[in-house]
Amino acid sequence: MLAVSGPPGSGKTTLSHALSERFGGAPVLAYDAYEEITGWPPERVSAWLADGAPLDAVPVPGLTEDLARLRRGEPVPDRERGGTLRLSRRAARPVIVLDTLLGRAHPGTGAQIDHLVWLDLPLDVALARKLRSFTGEARRDPPAAAGFLAALDAYLGRYETLLHPTYALQRKRVRPAADQILGAGTLAEHLAAIVSTLDSTFHATLAAAPTA
C-alpha cells in the first residue's frame, strides 16, 4: 500500500488521485472520509493535546478494516466520492493509495503501509494553500460565500492554539518514518519521483528473491 502524508494544504489529495490514475485506477482511501476529530469541541482537542496527543485516540472508525479488506481483494464503500472501491484489474501491480495525515504513526492503518511519501511543505505555505481553498470555494459559489467566510473565520480562530500545534506534532511524528520525502516540485515531478522509487524497490525485491 502506498500512503501520502503531509500537512493540510500540502497537496495530498491531488497527488493521491494522480497516483490512482498513474496506477490504472488504484483505489484511494481518504483519512478525511473516516476521521471524527474535526467534530470534537475545542476543549476536547485541547485536552487531547495536553494528554500528549495520543494518535491511537484519533477516531477513524472503519478505516483499518477497509484497508485490510482491500488488501485481501475485497470491495469496500467509497466514503469520499460514493460508489465502491476495489483493486484495479488494469494494473500490472495492484496498488492501494491512502491519503492520510497520520502516516505510520497511527496504529492499525500505519502497520499496513508499504511505502510512505511525506510532502515536505512549510506550514506557512500549507496554510496559504488551505486559505485559498476557502476563498476559491466562495468565488465558485457566491451565494454561499457567507458560509465559507464563517468557516474560514472559525479555522483561523483555532489555528494558533489548536491546529498549528497539531500540525507541528504531525511533522515530528510522521515525517521521520517516511520512505520518501518530497519538497518543492510540480505534480508531474512528484509522480515521476514516486514511480521511479517504487520501480527501483520492486526490481530490487525481485533480485533479492530466492530462485528455485
Residue 79's domain is classified under what CATH number?
3.40.50.300
Domain span including residue 132: 2-203
pLDDT, tens only, 88-106? 877 667 899 999 999 999 9
| Residue 179: band (very low, low, confident or very high) from pLDDT cuts 50, 70, 90 | very high
Q: Is residue 174 situated within a structural domain? A: yes
Average the pLDDT over 129-155 and give the result: 88
* CB within 8 Å of 114: residues ≥ 6 apart: 1, 2
In a domain, 211, yes or no: no
Short-list 84, 111, 85, CA closest to 100: 111
Q: How many domains would you assign to the chain? A: 1
On whether residue 212 sits in a domain, the answer given is: no
| pLDDT, mean of residues 45-64 | 92
For residue 209, being part of any structural domain is answered with no
Asked if the structure places residue 61 within a domain, the reply is yes
Which pLDDT value is given to residue 91? Answer: 66
DSSP 8-state symbol, 60: -
The pLDDT score that the predictor gives to residue 65 is: 95
**What mean pLDDT value characterizes the chain?**
89
